[in-house]
């Protein structure tokens, strides 16, 4: 399983801010921890995406080493987690539970 937390910026970009992203995605570990850096101060809508994978193929790189390739199994599931506001120079703590 792979868990991704998506941040979608709400509202308009501040005047003068150019080429910034309006969506971010960060990996969530199996304990539910994540770290998102570089988000601009704004309100964001949070979405958790859950995708199951299976081992598709193993590519050998050299003797005794290789790289597994994963293929998605079925469609991804997305769950809305609500909204959060991020302010400049502050740390945000967000707790959520998905059942």
pLDDT in tens, the chain (99 residues): 889 999 998 887 666 666 567 888 899 888 888 888 778 888 999 999 999 999 888 888 888 788 888 899 999 999 998 898 888 877 766 666 666
Asked if residue 93 is part of any domain, the answer here is no
> Token pair of 9, please?
């910026």
- Report the pLDDT value the prediction gives residue 20, as an integer from 0 to 100: 63
- Report the pLDDT value the prediction gives residue 40, as an integer from 0 to 100: 81
Rounded Cα distance, 91 and 49, in Å: 23
Rounded Cα distance, 17 and 9, in Å: 13
Asked if residue 91 is part of any domain, the answer here is no
Rounded Cα distance, 21 and 69, in Å: 28
- Report the pLDDT value the prediction gives residue 74, as an integer from 0 to 100: 93
Asked if residue 82 is part of any domain, the answer here is yes
Tally of domains in the chain: 1
Asked if residue 48 is part of any domain, the answer here is yes
Residue range of the domain that includes 49: 2-86
Asked if residue 94 is part of any domain, the answer here is no
Asked if residue 50 is part of any domain, the answer here is yes
């Amino acid at each position: 399983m792979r868990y991704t937390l998506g941040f979608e910026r709400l509202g308009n970009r501040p005047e003068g801010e150019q080429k910034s992203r309006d969506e971010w995605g960060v990996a969530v570990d199996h304990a539910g921890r994540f770290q998102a850096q570089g988000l601009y101060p704004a309100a964001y809508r949070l979405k958790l995406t859950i995708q199951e994978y299976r081992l598709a193929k193993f590519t050998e790189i050299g003797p005794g080493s290789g790289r597994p390739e994963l293929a998605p199994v079925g469609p991804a599931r997305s769950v809305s987690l609500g909204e959060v506001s991020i302010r400049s120079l502050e740390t945000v703590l967000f707790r959520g539970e998905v059942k």
